[in-house]
Amino acid sequence: MTLKTPSGVASHFLRIQEVASELGLTTRSIRYYEELGLLSPAARSDGSYRLYDASDVERLRFIKGLRDDAGFSLAEISQLLEDEAARVKSREAYSQTGDPAERRAIVTDSLGRFDRQSRILREKIARLETMVSAVEVRRSRLEGRLADLDAGGLGEVR
Longest Cα–Cα distance of the chain, Å, equals: 80
In order of 10, 86, 147, the CA distances from 44 in angstroms are 13, 19, 66
Cβ neighbourhood burial of 141 (10 Å; 0-12, 13-18, 19+): exposed
Nearer of residues 50 and 63 to a copy of itself, judged by Cβ: 63
**Sheet arrangement for strand 14-15:** 14-15, 50-52, 43-44
In order of 39, 68, 73, the CA distances from 83 in angstroms are 8, 20, 15
Q: Is 48 in the site for DNA (CB under 7 A)?
A: yes
Closest CB to a copy of itself among residues 17, 111: 111
Catalog residues that contact a copy of itself under the rule CB under 8 A: 62, 65-66, 68-72, 94-95, 98, 100, 103-104, 107-108, 110-111, 114-115, 117-118, 121-122, 124-125, 127-132, 134-136, 138-139, 142-143, 145-146, 149-150, 152-155, 157
Query: By rule CB under 7 A, what string of x and - marks binding of each residue 28-47 to DNA?
Result: xx-xx------------xxx
For residue 14, the minimal CB distance to a copy of itself (Å) is 20
Interaction partner, residue 111 (DNA, a copy of itself, none; CB < 5-8 Å by kind): a copy of itself
Q: How far is the CB of 56 from DNA (least distance, A)?
A: 12
CA neighbor of 16 nearest in space, from 45, 4, 71: 45
Question: At 156, which amino acid appears?
Answer: E
Q: Which is nearer to a copy of itself, 17 or 133 (CB)?
A: 133
